[in-house]
Amino acid sequence: MGFRTLRSCVDTLHNEGHVVKIDYPVDPHLEIAEIQRRLFRSGGPAILFTQPKNSGFPILINLYGTQSRIERIFSDSLERVRRLVELKIDPTEALKKPWRYWRSPYDALSMLPKMVRTGSICEHEVPLSCLPKVTNWPSDGGAFITLPAVYTEAPGRSGPHHANLGMYRVQLSGNNYKSNQEVGLHYQLHRGIGIHHKEALHRGEPLNVAVFVGGAPSMAPSAVMPLPEGLSEITFAGVLSGHRIPMIRRHNRPAIYAEADFVIEGTVFPGAMKPEGPFGDHLGYYARQHDFPVMQVNHVWHRHDAIWPMTVVGRPPQEDTLFGWLVHELTGPIIPSVLPGIKSVHAVDASGVHPLLLAVGSERYQPWKSCDRPAELLTQASAILGQGQLSLAKYLFIVDEHDAPGLNASEILPFFRHLLERVLWQRDCHFHTETTIDTLDYSGSGLNTGSKLVIAARGPAIRSLPDTPPSQASLPDGYSDLRLCMPGVLLIQGPKITPEPKLETPTDQSIWTHTEDAPWAEDIQKLCHAITADHPLRAWPLLVIVDDTAFSSHSLENFLWIAFTRSNPAADVYGVDSFVRQKHWGCGGPLVIDARLKPHHAPPLVEDPETTMRVNEMCATGGPLSHILRND
């Protein structure tokens, strides 16, 4: 019936060869994170460091680092969850195939949390300073919890049925947090904790918060599951783990998870804000320091055999990529029932997830008409952008399934080819300006502020895509090195923009609002004006201006990361022969994306050279990690 505790999971996987125990005293400051990144890249095992430096608890990394290991961890429950999803889509399936769904009612019972009086989590109480302090990137503002499940209950409606469980990073140390008394809570837009926090502020009350670390392996992925409002992630964790999640209820205090490895209990008082960060985040850049809620710590509990699980986020792919795979594996089939007409949606992990969505929709209305103009696709695009965290998408590309039966949004190269063969830039670009984007995306004009671009294309192909860069092309000063990215997409190295991004948060006055007044805009306008009707670049539908064409063209992943994390559509998308007609923007020639680093962007993550050298020594012949990892 699945693993009830992290310790039972680790012991079982150790016996099966999925977990390796290391007694060597590795440093939680940068070294463990460096090892984690290498383990994930190599498809290696999970590692339990039994004696990490300056830590009284063992530290576990890479537990969710391979698809096969996730399937092993949830081998007792994945198929049962799939069947519950099938019944959610069509309840009549239970009548059609009773032999397939005979146990589904019993599985549904595991969704109900089990209220208990006590549990193993209450065995020990310690100061906050006793917790492991793991730092992942050189310029991080301190130590963070990177696999937390942050639990809140709706003010005035207590109990797990009115609760939210989310994975919001928690800063344990650094900045000006009071030692042993405070931790920082960082949560982004469209997160359930924000609803509870707002309700508490409206009532003039503090918000009680509990941070769970460890416990059943189902807790972490459940905390990132995009569930409908009103459905607690605790209930999903029960289904995924195969047992009811035990929660300890106390008088006038929120419930806590009885079988967690660690629990930090605390209170967020109205107006309690302090600078949080910087933090190396999943877009591959540093999230800068900003004011976020600060939690006053009341209690820190741990069980007797506690293990501290952690992960590293950074430029994808990382371990959290597999969380995305699991989310899609379990919830992907339900998308057509939630978004009518949508056949598939793919959040492109290589672009940082939120910056780029690909979708296959369906033009179903007026089938007797021969029409190439997107119609229902635009309605479906709006529906996608109205769904929870999908609303944070910055670029949404959508095509019609009838033009290419069988095309799936996860097939990135075929999708791009299909779209670029059909798109009509005069008509098919639809901008959303002055709107919200991912909190962690610094390509916009301010925190949470930016734009979106929907590109909807349908109909027969209108062009053949070039696949050989022109040998000679007249370009303005500063432009050079034309390189093929994929058929129809040409990379051009552009003039370098100075100054380079800094880690410090820029003031409002120093952030360019991305109008034509920005100094780098003039560079792109010169290029667009140079591409005349007979220019060889005129045949290319998409031109992307980058700082380093060799790096950007090296792999599809490099291109996706550069192009869509370093551009804000309303500011950085240009066009040859562009125009505005009835407030609609379009262009007669190629679309141009300026994906150069700009001063207001966050700096990219770079590993610490000295740490890299130390880990190299550990991986060298005879080193404590030589039987697991080789030097990159």
Give the confidence band of 194 by pLDDT, cuts at 50, 70, 90: confident
Range 570-584 average pLDDT: 96
Residue 449 is predicted with a pLDDT of 86
pLDDT at 332: 75
Q: Is there a contact between 177 and 163 (Cβ–Cβ < 8 Å)? A: no
pLDDT of 102 reads 59
Q: What are the pLDDT digits (tens) for 459-512?
A: 999 999 999 999 888 999 999 999 999 999 999 999 999 888 988 876 544 454
Whether residue 559 has pLDDT greater than 90: yes
Least confident interval from 60-64, 106-110, 240-244: 106-110
Backbone angles phi, psi at 95, to 5 degrees: -80, -35
Instruction: Please give the pLDDT value at position 104.
Output: 65
Q: Is the pLDDT of residue 158 over 90?
A: no
Q: Name the nearest CA neighbour of 587 among 598, 573, 601, 600.
A: 573
Peptide bond just before 316 cis, omega within 30 deg: no
pLDDT digits (tens, 9 = 90+) for 228-260: 665 678 888 888 888 889 999 877 788 999 999
Residue 417: CB partners within 8 Å, gap ≥ 6?
465, 486, 487, 488
Confidence of residue 133 (pLDDT cuts 50, 70, 90): very high
Per-residue confidence (pLDDT) for residue 509, from 0 to 100: 42
- Whether residue 466 has a cis bond before it, omega within 30° of 0: no
d(C-alpha 311, C-alpha 10), whole Å: 15
For strands 46-49 and 59-61, give the pairing: antiparallel
Q: Is the pLDDT of residue 163 over 90?
A: no
Kindly report, residue by residue over 600-616, the tens digit of the pLDDT: 999 999 999 999 999 99
Read off the pLDDT of each residue in 286-313 and give the average, rounded to a whole number.
96
Q: Per-residue confidence at 337, pLDDT binned at 50, 70, 90?
A: confident
Long-range contacts of 377-385 (CB under 8 A, 24+ apart): 377/456, 377/458, 378/430, 378/454, 378/456, 379/341, 380/339, 380/340, 380/341, 380/342, 381/430, 381/454, 381/456, 383/339, 383/340, 383/342, 384/339, 384/342, 384/345, 384/357, 384/359, 385/432, 385/452, 385/454
Q: Is residue 187 scored above 90 in pLDDT? A: no
Average pLDDT estimate for 276-301: 95
pLDDT band at 387; cut points 50, 70, 90: confident
Q: Which residue has the higher pLDDT, 324 or 563?
A: 563
List phi, psi (to 5°) of 293. -55, 140
The b/e string for 385-398 (b: 16+ C-beta within 10 A; e otherwise) is: bebebbbbbbbbbb
Measured between alpha carbons, how far is 606 from 138 in angstroms, rounded to an integer?
Answer: 8
Give SS3 for 208.
strand
Mean pLDDT along residues 615-628:
94
Residue 274 — pLDDT band, cuts 50, 70, 90? Answer: very high
Residue 139: band (very low, low, confident or very high) from pLDDT cuts 50, 70, 90: very high
Arithmetic mean of pLDDT, 383-394: 88
Mean pLDDT of 323-336: 82
Rounded CA-CA distance 570/450 in Å is 8
Query: What does residue 156 show for φ and ψ, rounded to 5 degrees?
Result: 85, -5
Of the candidates 115, 333, 387, the one whose C-alpha atom is nearest the C-alpha of residue 234 is 115
Question: Hunting for tokens 């300890």 — which residue is that?
Answer: 248
Residue 122 DSSP one-character state = G
Task: Give the residue from 357, 261, 266 showing the smallest Cα distance to 301.
Answer: 261
First vs last C-alpha separation in the chain: 39
What pLDDT, on a 0 to 100 scale, did the predictor assign at position 606?
A: 96
Task: Please give the mean pLDDT across all residues of the chain.
Answer: 90
Q: What integer is the mean pLDDT of 440-455?
A: 89
Burial class from Cβ neighbours inside 10 Å (0-12, 13-18, 19+) for residue 1 reads exposed
Question: Are residues 287 and 281 in contact, defined by beta-carbon separation less than 8 angstroms?
Answer: yes
pLDDT at residue 507, rounded to an integer: 56
pTM: 0.92
Residue at token pair 């925190």:
447
CB half-sphere exposure, 624, CA atoms < 13 A: 15
Q: What is the three-state SS of 281-337?
A: CCCCEEECCEEEEEEEEEEEEECCCCCEEECCCCCCCCCHHHHHHHHHHHHHHHHHH
pLDDT (tens digit per residue) in 341-380? 999 999 999 999 889 999 999 998 766 566 778 999 999 9
pLDDT at 441 over 50: yes
Give residue 106's pLDDT.
64
What pLDDT is stored for residue 628 in this prediction? 94
Contact 397, 346 (CB under 8 A): no
Across residues 77-102, what is the average pLDDT? 68
Q: Which tens digit of pLDDT belongs to each residue from 512-539?
A: 444 556 888 999 999 999 999 999 999 9
Residue 539's pLDDT is 96
pLDDT surpasses 80 at 551? yes
Asked whether the predicted pLDDT for residue 421 surpasses 90, the reply is: yes
How large is the average pLDDT for residues 264-271? Answer: 94
pLDDT at 107 over 70: no
Structure tokens at 58: 């063992």
Q: Tell me how far apart the alpha carbons of residues 111 and 93 are, in angstroms, rounded to a whole number.
A: 20
Residue 282 has a pLDDT of 92
What is the average per-residue pLDDT within 65-71? 96
The percentage of residues in the chain with a pLDDT greater than 70, rounded to a whole number, is: 92
